[in-house]
Structure 1
Amino acid sequence: MTETHRHDAPTKNTEDFWEDFYQEREQVWSGSPNILLVREIDSVTPGSALDLGCAEGADAIWLAERGWRVTATDVSRTALERAKVRAAEKNLDGAIDWQRHDFDESFPDGRFDLVSAQFLHSPVAHASERSAILSKAADAVAPGGLLLIVGHAGFPSWAPKQHDVHLPSTAEVLTELRLDPEQWDVELEEVVERDFPSPDGEPGVRQDNVLRVRRR
């Protein structure tokens, strides 16, 4: 999931907003996995993985192709149905457990060797709600497992500034998580800048936060 700024967002609940978001187009995302997930996890030994806000399934499919046992979750039924179709096209329909969750109301059971939260921003969720979701994500990490949180650090260089939207830093996320330093190691805190052209092709850049922590 990623942040989307629309004037009608505050009037809708989470499920209705994301259903409308996905039903506006037959395909919203590129179909490629998030590049920072690939960078951080490509060399990690596969195990069990939880993909939070899996959208149309690109990350979950990429993980499953590499041998991970994936539980993939999203609030949008439309997004999940698209993800299931794409997984089946790659003969992965039995390798991924697709689950619908509104994280304010329910959360997947179990513990996982990897919990991935890629751009878990939403215009219909308050900062405290995101913080609560990420705390649940940390609780779902198995001993020795990884929590990987990637989020936007700012808006694209060509985009109007959104002064009413706060994008938390890695330090803020760590403060909110309140991880016991005797149980967790912070392996990476980084701001990554990448090329990010506008929809019209105007050159630009965007910065993203990467936080990788490991439960001992």
Structure 2
Amino acid sequence: MNTESWDEMYRGRPQVFSGEPNGVLVAEAAGLAPGEALDVGCGEGADAMWLAHRGWRVTAVDVAETALRRGAAAAHGSDVAGRVAWTRADLSTAALPAGVFDLVSVQYFPLRHQPEHEALNRLLASVAPGGTLLVAGHDPGDEGVDYADYYRPDEIAGLLDGWTILVHESRPRTRPGPEGTHHTRDVVLRAVNSAGEPATAP
């Protein structure tokens, strides 16, 4: 799907997602000390709001303007409105600041393969030394899951040179998958950038 397709999907429905934060994020990030977070493919903003309520300063990024407007509207007037920066960007091409995010959360984000891992390297490099990369994806064994063109959490784990992998496993979903899908399990990757500088894939 291109940028216009994502925006069209959101425009075609009054609400696409449940409004609840992703279960993997809640399970893996609840104990982290708040700092700067990047929410990759933030959608309508439930994850970003959950993080902000816990003291994080969040850069919430998506290609779909409609989704970002919904997130900003949900945050408007709340006590965390100033803690989330709603940012439209295509992360397959967009530049990211290096070494600034204490948490980079990648929840079911379709990051397309690139020959030199350009986009993935920008994501990895954005994680601060000592910061956390948290990736959740659908288990390839589930019906209808096709990662042919996209990075799987397993692939990303294999590219983390100089990182400490804390969690890398398949587990049952805590909530049902999106309507019309048959997702029953998640693959979860949680890793810490153990290098003394921003990291990249080899």
Q: CA deviation at 1:172?
A: 1.9
Shift of 1:109: 2.5
Q: CA deviation at 1:179?
A: 2.6
Structure 2 residue 119 is the aligned partner of structure 1 residue 119: no
Matches within 5 A, 1:153-192: 153-154=139-140, 156=142, 161=144, 165=148, 169-175=152-158, 178-181=159-162, 184-192=163-171
CA contact (8 A) 2:103 2:134 kept: yes
Aligned length: 191
Larger-gyration structure (1/2): 1
1:63, CA displacement in angstroms? 0.2
Aligned CA RMSD, in angstroms, stands at 2.6
* Stretch of structure 1 that moved more, 78-87 or 204-213: 204-213
Scaled by the length of structure 2, what TM-score is found?
A: 0.83
Instruction: Structure 2 unaligned segments of length 5 or more: list them.
Output: 195-202
Tell me which residue corresponds to 1:134: 120
Q: Is 1:100 the counterpart of 2:78 in the alignment? A: no
Letter in 2 for 1:71: T
Unaligned stretches of 5+ residues in structure 1 = 1-8
Do the aligned partners of residues 73 and 197 (structure 1) sit closer, same or farther apart at CA in structure 2, a change above 3 Å counting?
Answer: closer
How far apart are 1:21 and its partner, in Å? 1.0
Alpha-carbon contact 2:62-2:89 (below 8 Å) kept: yes
CA distance in 2, matches of 1:67, 1:41: 12
1:135 is matched by which residue type in structure 2?
A: N
Q: CA deviation at 1:54?
A: 0.4
Identity %: 37
User: Are residues 197 and 99 of structure 1, via their aligned partners in 2, closer, same or farther at CA, if it must alter by over 3 Å?
Assistant: closer
SS in 2 for 1:187: strand
Q: In 2, Cα distance between the equivalents of 1:198 and 1:214?
A: 29
Query: Does the 8 Å CA contact 1:51/1:72 hold for their aligned counterparts?
Result: yes
Match of 2:50 in 1: 62
Give 1:59 deviation, angstroms.
0.3
Please say if 1:72 is aligned against 2:53: no
Q: 1:193 aligns with which of 149, 158, 172?
A: 172
Give the match for residue 215 of structure 1: 193
Shift of 1:165: 4.7
Q: Counterparts of 1:42 and 1:27 in 2: how far apart (Å)?
A: 26
What TM-score does the superposition give when structure 1 sets the normalisation length? 0.78
- Paired amino acid for 1:42: A
